[in-house]
Amino acid sequence: MAEKKQDWVDWVKTIVITVGIIFILRMFIAIPIVVDGPSMLPTLVDKDRVIVNKISLMFSEPDRFDVVVFHATAQEDYIKRVIGLPGDAIVYQDDQLYVNGEPVAEPFIEAERADEQFNYTTNFSMADIPGNEEVVPEGHVFVLGDNRPDSTDSRHLGFVPIDQIEGMASFTYWPLNRFGLVR
């Protein structure tokens, strides 16, 4: 009888430790998410499963072109690409991104831009962004979806506070044919 009780105690310990490890992983290191919608095509596809790296934000802020997950509303997180960093002036003119007056290449959407009969990204400047700032404010980033014609991003939401960023998309793990790093 004592042996059965010890087995039961061992199982409870194992379950508690496992739950504790999962809790720590999800809170501080990485979380799985499911992409919802087409706004990050072609980089991420609707229903892709992605691991979001939370720990890197403890050591540095996001860089330009990182794919991040952030709290868009109290109920919903969005996944978008960082285009503008604090202090940057962002302008889009004739399908060309300008950061602080300098043209910047966006290799992750080159194929889509080449296929379109119209501008893939509509023209805008900082004056068109909610918040009416001349540059991206300190403590914020400017984000766009890779599927520019079908994305709710900083053009509509305004600047994203860095403290609302949950983490950076690291790799896709499902479906298996899309397994790999998020670029």
Q: Which residues are catalytically annotated?
A: 39, 80
Q: Is 153 exposed, middle or buried (0-12, 13-18, 19+ CB in 10 A)?
A: buried
Q: Which sign, positive or negative, has the C-alpha torsion 38, 48, 145, 109?
A: negative
Q: How far apart are CA 183 and CA 180, in angstroms?
A: 9
CA atoms within 13 A on the CB side of 95: 14
φ, ψ of residue 10 in degrees (nearest 5): -60, -40
φ, ψ of residue 70 in degrees (nearest 5): -140, 160
